[in-house]
Amino acid sequence: GAQETSLHNFAFLLPLRHSFSSQTSSALLISRIKFHCFSLPRLSTMKLDTSGLETTMPMIGFGSNSEMLDGFSSVPSFDLPRTTDFDGFQKEAVQMVKPAKGTTTLAFIFKEGVMVAADSRASMGGYISSQSVKKIIEINPYMLGTMAGGAADCQFWHRNLGIKCRLHELANKRRISVSGASKLLANMLYSYRGMGLSVGTMIAGWDETGPGLYYVDNEGGRLKGDRFSVGSGSPYAYGVLDSGYKFDMRLKKHRN
């Protein structure tokens, strides 16, 4: 059984390098049996696979001539930028990789509800990658969010916001308000300010207090209003809104 197998495995751990007399062999057998009788049962353990781990301790270099790296020539180092204005350096670096998006989204509150509209083109500079992108995301059946900026950033944070709104609804037995949802998103984005996020969104919906519309950006800024437009095409959209927007307009006229 299991005990005999354990004793057999232990016996292989003691190779006999010299010849023993019969008396010595009997004593050795007795000692093995005694050891087996009083030993604790063996537990099966899982070995950790460390084949993918680094063999050297990672270190942060402070320059090619740093004294801290003496003796660690195999560890790569990097030079800090020669500048005293790190905030300005960071802004310049972000501007160099900031893409041109070409997005136009708008939303406004009117007498019969909230109207949200957006284009469907995904672009990177002058290259058009898609003509059928959904830039209006459903957070819940009573709330929508728009996308302007980086597609991955907007989709991730809207999906994250939808999860938090659902958890709030399950915990409090009521839907979260539009104001509360926009505040949640602003707080999350504020925690990552200055880290290169590209998010410009509007949270529009209907709750117990009526229609609600908020603008939230990637720095955690949050504004409440009755009409907003976000994206590089927003100046043209604001021109149309300023000339044609009226609160008491009917839904049919808004669609046209």
Domain boundaries 101-255, CATH class: alpha beta
Domain boundaries, the chain: 2-38, 67-96, 101-255
Look-up of token digits 């996020």: 197
Catalytic residue numbers read: 103
Burial class (CB in 10 A: 0-12, 13-18, 19+), 240: exposed
10-residue mean pLDDT profile of the chain (256 residues): values are 41 42 47 47 55 53 49 56 66 54 85 89 75 89 91 90 94 93 94 88 92 93 93 88 86 65
Contacts 24+ apart (CB under 8 A), 143-146: 143/178, 143/181, 143/203, 143/204, 143/205, 143/206, 144/116, 144/203, 144/204, 144/205, 145/201, 145/202, 145/203, 145/204, 146/105, 146/107, 146/116, 146/118, 146/201, 146/202, 146/204, 146/230
pLDDT digits (tens, 9 = 90+) for 116-165: 999 888 876 667 777 888 899 999 999 999 998 888 899 899 999 999 99
Model-level pTM?
A: 0.59
Q: What's residue 35's pLDDT?
A: 45
